[in-house]
Amino acid sequence: MSTQGLRDTARAFNESVQPIVAPMADEVGEYFDRNHEVLTAIYRGNMHFGYWTGPDDDAGFEEATTRLTDLVIDELGVGAGARVLDLGCGIGRPAVRLAERTGAEVVGVSVSRKDVARAGETAAAAGLADIVSFQVADAMALPFEDESFDAVFALGSMGHMPDRAVVLKEVARVLRPGGRVVLTDEVLRGAALEDEEQAYILAVVAATWCAGPPTVAERYSDYCRVAGLELDDMVDITEHTKYTFSKIFEGLQEYRAEHGDLPEDMAEILEMGEGIDWDEHHSEEQTEGAVIVTAHRGK
Ligand code: SAH
């Protein structure tokens, strides 16, 4: 191509819509530190999707998010004596729930210092500090020995990590042969799979949560293959989780009413939700949703 041709191509590229990329781990850590108070208040401890049976299910956010934790715990299938890694541990509620229900030992990691400090308090308050611990670490480069965990889970954290395949490679490395990983993730669905503009809008929305663009469920077979994991199952739970955003929106409104203000990141999310007719939104085909993915390391 001529120099002029290259210049024209470069100009056209600059004028086009730029791709949105996932944030770096330290940005994510700062985001969770900066919004710690409000996020833990609105999510009531579990920072992930809620699971409702349908529109008439009036379970509150805490109950519904605990149901999703329990679904993941059930899939993990671990018992006392197992050592489990929680990738992106938040304030430690899921890790403590896992230890309470199964007796397994849990190590949680997060890039947020506030998360880790608070998670330690959560474990101590539950009387489980001897088997549940937390540390600041990046899922992209885990500070653990090869084959040192029986199982790994990631609840609502994959979307914040820069590269799913790299994270799963790390998961495969620290898992013992035969060990299982269970995770939840946000995926594009329906019209967003065909329509680039829709997908772009959803990536912009994810960026306000300091997350990268939602993935496509089918890509999990590639991520797992590249990582050396065997994909066992992938269940789309969107019809159960789709009520989550309206609950977050209500939580943000309540928080603002009570505290008179919201941190900038959260004010932006609240602004995006204004004007949405939630009943209508829940009755439409969802262009973004959630999946539970189960995979294991071959023997
Ligand atoms: N699993 C928790 C928290 C989900 S919120 C729960 O369900 O309650 C997302 C979490 O992932 C936050 O704790 C965030 O700090 C963590 N996280 C994001 N990127 C990470 C990374 N690269 N490595 C480790 N943790 C990360």
Query: Model confidence over 126-175: pLDDT tens digits?
Result: 999 999 999 999 999 999 999 999 999 999 999 999 999 999 999 999 99
Classified by CATH at the fold level, domain 3-297 comes out as Rossmann fold (3.40.50)
Q: Which pLDDT score is estimated for 13?
A: 64
One-letter amino acid of 271:
E
Ligand 1 centroid distance, CA of 138 (Å): 9
Q: Which pLDDT score is estimated for 276?
A: 93
Q: Which pLDDT score is estimated for 6?
A: 78
Residues of the chain with pLDDT under 70: 1, 13-18
Q: How far apart are CA 285 and CA 190, in angstroms?
A: 7
Q: Which pLDDT score is estimated for 53?
A: 96
Mutation pick for ligand 1 pocket among 111, 140, 163 (CB with most ligand atoms within 8 Å): 111
Q: Which pLDDT score is estimated for 133?
A: 98
Q: Which pLDDT score is estimated for 58?
A: 95
Tell me the longest C-alpha to C-alpha distance in the chain. 70
Rounded-to-10 torsion of CA 247, 249, 252, 254: -70
Q: Which pLDDT score is estimated for 5?
A: 78
Q: How many helices (H) and strands (E) does the chain have?
A: 13, 7
Helices assigned H by DSSP within 177-231: 196-208, 219-227
Question: 167-172: long-range contacts at Cβ-Cβ below 8 A with a sequence spacing of 24 or more?
Answer: 167/87, 167/139, 167/140, 168/223, 168/224, 168/226, 168/227, 168/229, 168/295, 169/226, 169/227, 169/228, 170/139, 170/140, 170/141, 170/142, 171/85, 171/87, 171/227, 171/229, 172/227, 172/228, 172/229, 172/297
The residue ranges of DSSP E strands in 122-263, in sequence order, are 132-136, 149-154, 175-188, 229-236
Backbone phi, psi, residue 102, to 5°:
-120, -20
Residue pair 51/70 in contact by the 8 Å Cβ criterion: no
Ligand 1 centroid distance, CA of 77 (Å): 22
Enter the DSSP assignment of 190. G
Enter the DSSP assignment of 159. G
* DSSP-assigned beta bridge partners for residue 132: 106
Helix orientation angle between 264-273 and 196-208, rounded to the nearest 10 degrees: 140
Pocket of ligand 1 (CB under 6 A): 25, 28-29, 32, 46-48, 88-90, 93-94, 109-112, 115, 138-140, 155-157, 160-161
Among residues 112, 138, 135, the alpha carbon closest in space to that of 32 is found at 112
Pick the atom of ligand 1 nearest to 154's CA: 1
Pick the atom of ligand 1 nearest to 91's CA: 8
